[in-house]
Amino acid sequence: MRAQDRAMARRQLDKRLIAIENPDDLARPPRGWVKAIREALGMTAEQLGARLGVSQVRALALEKGEVTGSITLASLERAAHALDCRLVYALVPRKPLAELVEERAAKLAGRRLQATRHTMALEAQSVDAAEEAAQLKRLKQELIDKAGSKLWEEQ
């Protein structure tokens, strides 16, 4: 993917994800969404099982699987359908994607300049702070524009 396409993709995803103002509000209830909705509807586990075409024991196992994190998305989708719900699945970054990329590029640029600074010190050369800041800014932008997946290879 070209750099400008990646930047546009980040902007579009950030725009869509901003609609989820507080992702913590969507956190799974302690006993799981399936059980919380089933109980709020006044539905028994046996009734949910019947709607899923499984036994009551299997319906309870499904609820437990959601809480333990062992449920599959396919099973969760079937449970949502049985409860007349939609399954909404999203990965919500802690920060805007553009900010994550900028932070990563700044970190790598800093590391690379530090290596250069070390070499220059060994050679008894000096660089003024303004020039170093300008180099850092240029290198950071170059990494954002051209690095692509390589941005994430180095630890």
Domain edges within the chain: 21-82, 97-152
Compute the distance between CA of residue 104 and CA of residue 152 in angstroms, rounded to an integer.
8
Compute the distance between CA of residue 49 and CA of residue 35 in angstroms, rounded to an integer.
12
Phi and psi at residue 85, to the nearest 5° = -125, 170
What's the topology of domain 21-82?
A: 434 Repressor (Amino-terminal Domain) (1.10.260)
pLDDT at 143 over 90: no
Asked whether the beta carbons of 143 and 101 are under 8 A apart, the reply is no
pLDDT level of residue 119 (50, 70, 90 thresholds): low
pLDDT value at residue 85:
96
Helix (H, G, I), strand (E, B) or coil at 32: coil
Residue 97 CB partners (closer than 8 Å, separation 6+): 10, 13, 14
pLDDT value at residue 133:
82
pLDDT level of residue 126 (50, 70, 90 thresholds): low
Compute the distance between CA of residue 122 and CA of residue 116 in angstroms, rounded to an integer.
10
Record the tokens describing residue 152, joined without a space.
């994430």
Whether pTM exceeds 0.75? no
